Amino acid sequence: MRFAVEASLTYDFAGPCEVLLLVEAAHGPDQVVHSEALTFWPNVDAVRVDDPVTFERRTVFTASGQVNALYRAEVEVMLRDHDLTDAPAMAVRDLPSEVLPFLRASRYSPSDRLERFVDREFEGLEGGRKVQAILDWIAAHLDYRAGVSDAATTAIDTLVDRAGVCRDFTHLVIGLCRAANIPARAVSAYAWRLEPPDLHAIAEVYLGGRWRLIDATGLAPIDGLVRVATGRDAADIAFMTIFGKATLVEQSFSIGKIG
Amino acid sequence: MRFAVEASLTYDFAGPCEVLLLVEAAHGPDQVVHSEALTFWPNVDAVRVDDPVTFERRTVFTASGQVNALYRAEVEVMLRDHDLTDAPAMAVRDLPSEVLPFLRASRYSPSDRLERFVDREFEGLEGGRKVQAILDWIAAHLDYRAGVSDAATTAIDTLVDRAGVCRDFTHLVIGLCRAANIPARAVSAYAWRLEPPDLHAIAEVYLGGRWRLIDATGLAPIDGLVRVATGRDAADIAFMTIFGKATLVEQSFSIGKIG
Amino acid sequence: MRFAVEASLTYDFAGPCEVLLLVEAAHGPDQVVHSEALTFWPNVDAVRVDDPVTFERRTVFTASGQVNALYRAEVEVMLRDHDLTDAPAMAVRDLPSEVLPFLRASRYSPSDRLERFVDREFEGLEGGRKVQAILDWIAAHLDYRAGVSDAATTAIDTLVDRAGVCRDFTHLVIGLCRAANIPARAVSAYAWRLEPPDLHAIAEVYLGGRWRLIDATGLAPIDGLVRVATGRDAADIAFMTIFGKATLVEQSFSIGKIG
Amino acid sequence: MRFAVEASLTYDFAGPCEVLLLVEAAHGPDQVVHSEALTFWPNVDAVRVDDPVTFERRTVFTASGQVNALYRAEVEVMLRDHDLTDAPAMAVRDLPSEVLPFLRASRYSPSDRLERFVDREFEGLEGGRKVQAILDWIAAHLDYRAGVSDAATTAIDTLVDRAGVCRDFTHLVIGLCRAANIPARAVSAYAWRLEPPDLHAIAEVYLGGRWRLIDATGLAPIDGLVRVATGRDAADIAFMTIFGKATLVEQSFSIGKIG
């Protein structure tokens, strides 16, 4: 499927400060970016700091005063999994070097604290079946609700609170998968049919030799996800990191199917 | 300076389980490994999963029953900084792609929670001078003491507890540097003259275009550090990660100067 | 000094629910309530559950729909300490039975975690001098600022965040005093000259045979405090605890000097 | 039933320090102490600080060097509930003044964080049935295991860890009950048939006009519990609080049935 995506971000920056922007569609094996443009108004001094391993595309710019960043792209999405059931678990020895870090505990997905829970609750399952059981558990025990969590909320908090938003669901599924020795990471994505439109936080797990996107919230179809940034958890994939002070003026994300 | 290092680890593994071993000296621009050998007794099935970016060297093996892993190497150490004062801060735009993640909050160094403290306590300083002020603050306010911290202790805990071991000192200095927008990461190292001998946890900061080792504990001379693993914090650099169950039988680390 | 105080609270209660109200001036040895009235509009079924030990005055009512609770009183304030310097520390054996619990860790003032910090930072001081040193430290290291803390923020968080509101300052001073073996508790009070007018959270410490009010924020004069509720921390002194659901319509607190 | 209980505590105290001892059987409506003696060897200067509300009996003594405290009593236990099913919930307005604090969040039972979980998991139940459902949930989802928790472990940690010892089970059941608006508190007790013998941590809930002991671990029969201290959580009921430094030499607790 092919999608047109757009992000429009207007902020008022106090003094010249650097900004790391993660809103561009990743260039990688599971999606093709047919055309795209990132423009600033007024113009700013911007450089690319793309990541060759994750295919994540990053722009750093220096801004002062009110600036609008506008990103538009046409992206073709491929290779999304609808069913993980038969995706096999992998031995640690068979994991590529760059996948190993995604077995580790991170800021918002402290998987070291979830091992006992995972052992007790999901014993005897392997690979895709285990991931599916974790997704089912989350669907049965968590409510999708705004206002419960904030920027400091971890997977541990969400396991206790039993509610949160996409970011929280993602942190919990990542934490539980890692505790089960399944590499897992966070992804931001334009999400077709997500209501209200926003940059969606989802997870992906490494099974059977490749990363596979999963959405613990079930709010958006998997094959309507246009991947943007990739990281250990939300600490890595914020669409904008401001090294200084700024005020939000307006921001919007949109995605539409083409053809 | 040239050092002979040795790690000897004997564990009793319950059932066949995979083990990730991080005890080998890194191969990189700041140290040369002249000779080395990693042997297992009895022999095990082992594979290498080295990291081309950090030069970290990793072995994954599958073990069952009692196994001894013995690592020996001769390593020449170069390029250690004794004085960071003049090391310049870097703009985010000038950071290499692979350095960016080390600005982010991690499991044990949740730098997002330390920004206000850093702003208040180290205002007006930049680059190496700021790092030095952070090291001075830690030296003045923390006691090196075992028994205060455990495997779950974070930089936040250590800031409150005002005591800990090398791992805790490292997490705090990393968290404070990141909160000051200075990339920082954790390193494990054989440490000459460290008493008692152990694999030491230290930090490094990215200033003036390269990583520079710092030891917030002041327990070992910087030019006696033979670097091993590198990561966001202790979650990444554990010398042994056992994907299963095992009992420690005996372990020791040693380092001696040659010539 | 004599004060006229008023609290007016209007809430919309969903379904009949019980409400515990703590807005009435305490009747005790350090203040005299000359006249007072608590009225509800429309009228509700209310009972008193006063505490004979703390002199705290409590009303429980059952409400449904929109209800206004209006409290008005004239209170004469006595026995406020301007200088704690010479207030002597007390042996545990000399503490009255009802004071002992205020040496214990509580929800928002987990003093067990602050012992090392207190030992290191305030060593060698006793009694009122120690309390004063703690107040001075807080004044030097914390910023009074809204938006940093929320209902879950503890003294540990505030020690790290270095900022908060009156509730947070109070939790930290209580935690530090208890860690120094000085009984400390939380008090809510109408606070003359507090801007903007609100129910203020302050602390009190038990020294030299009686409780003495202290205000770590320094925002209101000590002899303008009309005490209301008393407890281990903010968990105990909330001015309204709703056992059900309700929406705030309007609320205000005021205090004025008479004569 | 009638029991002989004994506690023998030997510590080496560094310098003269005060000690609060909570090992004596409570004098109250649900148990009669027929005979008892608390002796120290060598003798120390001790005073009583009994609590008239909870019937908790407290001794504060000043010690230096090695001291043995020996407590022996014969206690008749009455009024233990085997079945809470029909114990009715109470309106807040009907709670005695001294029961209200046990609805509040405390250090180790931060019930404010458990409300959503309780609403979701135990909806529609009231009073004794709700308490029983909470006990059943704990029995089904927690493992009794040493080494998982420590002195800082809260009910939140235990809900995540899914394991702990009697203290942790007690904190969780208390937290869940309070979140359900049922007053709950912690009790220490000599526990007949507990293996190995120790001072047991249990909970009690206020239903139908009186406190009722419950044991979330199920390790000891309810009518074999000789109650000692009472408080909000373990912060209040430690059998020994040392205001200074000491080393444990030997300690033991025992209980035997008489007749």
Q: How far apart are CA D113 and CA D154, in angstroms?
A: 11
Closest to D202 in 3D by CA, of D229, D163, D239, D241: D229
Distance from CA of A193 to the nearest CA of D (A): 29
Interface check C175 vs D, CB under 8 A: no
Q: Which residue of D has its CA nearest to C179?
A: D243
Residue to mutate among B116, B121, B122, B149, with most C CBs inside 10 A, is: B116
Give the confidence band of D115 by pLDDT, cuts at 50, 70, 90. Answer: very high
Query: Among B58, B92, B232, whose Cβ lies nearest the Cβ of A18?
Result: B92
pLDDT-flagged residues of chain C (< 70): none
Mean pLDDT of B25-40: 94
Question: Are C198 and C255 within 8 A, CB to CB?
Answer: no
Q: Where are the alpha helices (DSSP H) in C188-244?
A: 234-237
Distance from CA of C62 to the nearest CA of D (A): 9
- pLDDT (tens digit per residue) in B39-57: 999 999 999 999 988 899 9
Work out whether the CA dihedral D122, D126, D129, D132 comes out positive or negative: positive
Q: What is the overall mean pLDDT for chain D?
A: 95
Q: Give me the pLDDT at residue C29, please.
A: 87
Q: How far apart are CA C4 and CA C143, in angstroms?
A: 31
Q: With an 8 Å Cβ cutoff, are B161 and C120 in contact?
A: no
The two three-digit tokens of residue A29, written as one number: 């094996």
Q: What are the beta bridge partners of residue C199?
A: C190
Q: Which residue of A has its CA nearest to B244?
A: A181
Interface check C152 vs B, CB under 8 A: no
ipTM: 0.95
On chain B, the residues whose CB falls within 8 A of the CB of A241 are 103
Q: With an 8 Å Cβ cutoff, are A160 and D160 in contact?
A: yes
Q: Give me the pLDDT at residue D167, please.
A: 97
The β-bridge relationship of strands A210-214 and A199-207 is antiparallel
Q: With an 8 Å Cβ cutoff, are D143 and A156 in contact?
A: no
Domain D92-237 sits in CATH 3.40.50.300: no
Q: With an 8 Å Cβ cutoff, are C18 and D105 in contact?
A: no
Interface check B148 vs C, CB under 8 A: yes
Question: Are C212 and C181 within 8 A, CB to CB?
Answer: no
Query: Among C20, C101, C241, whose Cβ lies nearest the Cβ of D236?
Result: C101
Residue to mutate among A111, A117, A118, A145, with most D CBs inside 10 A, is: A117
A116-125's contacts with Cβ under 8 Å and 24+ in sequence apart are A116/D148, A116/D161, A116/D162, A116/D163, A117/A159, A117/A176, A117/A179, A117/D160, A117/D161, A117/D162, A118/A176, A118/A179, A118/A180, A120/D141, A120/D143, A120/D162, A122/A176, A122/A180
On chain D, the residues whose CB falls within 8 A of the CB of C18 are 91-93
On chain B, the residues whose CB falls within 8 A of the CB of A20 are 92, 100
Interface check C145 vs B, CB under 8 A: no
Q: With an 8 Å Cβ cutoff, are C114 and B160 in contact?
A: yes
The two three-digit tokens of residue C29, written as one number: 């040895």
Interface check B20 vs A, CB under 8 A: yes
Angular region, B154: left φ>0, alpha ψ -120 to 50, beta rest: beta
Distance from CA of A124 to the nearest CA of D (A): 17
- pLDDT (tens digit per residue) in D8-19: 999 999 989 999
What is residue D237's three-state secondary structure? helix
Question: Are B24 and B71 within 8 A, CB to CB?
Answer: yes
CATH architecture observed for domain B92-236: Roll (3.10)
Residue B79 reports pLDDT greater than 80: no
Strand ranges inside chain C, DSSP E: 2-21, 31-41, 45-48, 59-77, 143-144, 163-164, 184-191, 199-207, 210-214, 225-231, 240-258
Q: With an 8 Å Cβ cutoff, are C104 and D181 in contact?
A: no
Q: Beta-carbon neighbour count of residue D88 at 10 Å?
A: 11
Interface check B144 vs C, CB under 8 A: no
Work out whether the CA dihedral B53, B57, B63, B65 comes out positive or negative: negative
Residue D137 reports pLDDT greater than 90: yes
Q: Which residue of A has its CA nearest to B238?
A: A104
Work out whether the CA dihedral C191, C195, C198, C204 comes out positive or negative: negative
What is the residue-wise DSSP string for C89-155? Answer: P--GGGS-TTTGGGGS--SS--GGGSHHHHHHHSTT--HHHHHHHHHHHHHHH-EE-TTS--TT--H
Residue to mutate among C20, C48, C55, C92, with most D CBs inside 10 A, is: C92
Q: With an 8 Å Cβ cutoff, are B151 and A100 in contact?
A: no
Domain C2-77+239-258 CATH class label: mainly beta
Q: With an 8 Å Cβ cutoff, are C113 and D152 in contact?
A: yes
The two three-digit tokens of residue C139, written as one number: 């004044």
What is residue B90's three-state secondary structure? coil
Q: With an 8 Å Cβ cutoff, are C163 and B113 in contact?
A: no
Query: Among C100, C107, C241, whose Cβ lies nearest the Cβ of D106?
Result: C107
Q: Give me the pLDDT at residue B54, please.
A: 86
Domain coordinates of chain C in residue numbers?
2-77+239-258, 92-223
Q: Which residue of C has its CA nearest to D179?
A: C243
Query: Among A114, A156, A160, whose Cβ lies nearest the Cβ of D117?
Result: A160
Q: For chain A, how many helices (H) and strands (E)?
A: 5, 11
The two three-digit tokens of residue B43, written as one number: 């022999």
On chain C, the residues whose CB falls within 8 A of the CB of B160 are 113-114, 117, 156, 159-160
Q: Which chains would you list as touching A if contact means 3+ CB atom pairs under 8 Å?
A: B, D
Q: Give me the pLDDT at residue C65, please.
A: 96
Q: Is C235 exposed, middle or buried (0-12, 13-18, 19+ CB in 10 A)?
A: buried
Fold exhibited by the domain B2-77+239-257? Immunoglobulin-like (2.60.40)
On chain C, the residues whose CB falls within 8 A of the CB of D152 are 112-113
Q: Is D102 exposed, middle or buried (0-12, 13-18, 19+ CB in 10 A)?
A: buried
Residue to mutate among C115, C119, C162, C172, with most B CBs inside 10 A, is: C162
Question: Are D63 and D16 within 8 A, CB to CB?
Answer: yes
Q: Please report, as a single letter, which amino acid is at residue D75.
A: V
- pLDDT (tens digit per residue) in C65-80: 999 999 999 999 987 7
State the residue for tokens 């090291």: B135
Q: Give me the pLDDT at residue D173, please.
A: 98
- pLDDT (tens digit per residue) in D59-73: 999 999 999 999 999
Q: With an 8 Å Cβ cutoff, are B106 and A243 in contact?
A: no
Q: Give me the pLDDT at residue D73, please.
A: 97
Q: Give me the pLDDT at residue A52, please.
A: 87
Residue to mutate among B13, B19, B53, B93, with most A CBs inside 10 A, is: B93
Cα separation values, B83 from A201, B79, B214, Å: 42, 12, 10
Q: With an 8 Å Cβ cutoff, are C162 and B114 in contact?
A: no
Q: What are the beta bridge partners of residue A189?
A: A200, A227
Interface check A18 vs B, CB under 8 A: yes
Q: With an 8 Å Cβ cutoff, are D148 and A116 in contact?
A: yes
10-residue stretch averages of pLDDT, chain A, 259 residues long: 97 94 94 96 94 92 96 92 89 95 98 96 95 97 96 97 97 98 98 94 96 95 95 97 95 94
Q: How far apart are CA D154 and CA D176, in angstroms?
A: 12
Q: How far apart are CA C160 and CA B23, in angstroms?
A: 34
Q: Beta-carbon neighbour count of residue D229 at 10 Å?
A: 24
Residues of chain D numbered 76-135 and touching chain A (CB < 8 Å): 113-114, 116-117, 120
What is residue D91's three-state secondary structure? coil
On chain D, the residues whose CB falls within 8 A of the CB of C101 are 231-232, 236
Q: What is the CATH number of domain C92-223?
A: 3.10.620.30
Question: Are B187 and B228 within 8 A, CB to CB?
Answer: yes
Q: What is the overall mean pLDDT for chain B?
A: 95
Question: Are A170 and A234 within 8 A, CB to CB?
Answer: yes
Query: Among C116, C120, C162, whose Cβ lies nearest the Cβ of B116?
Result: C162
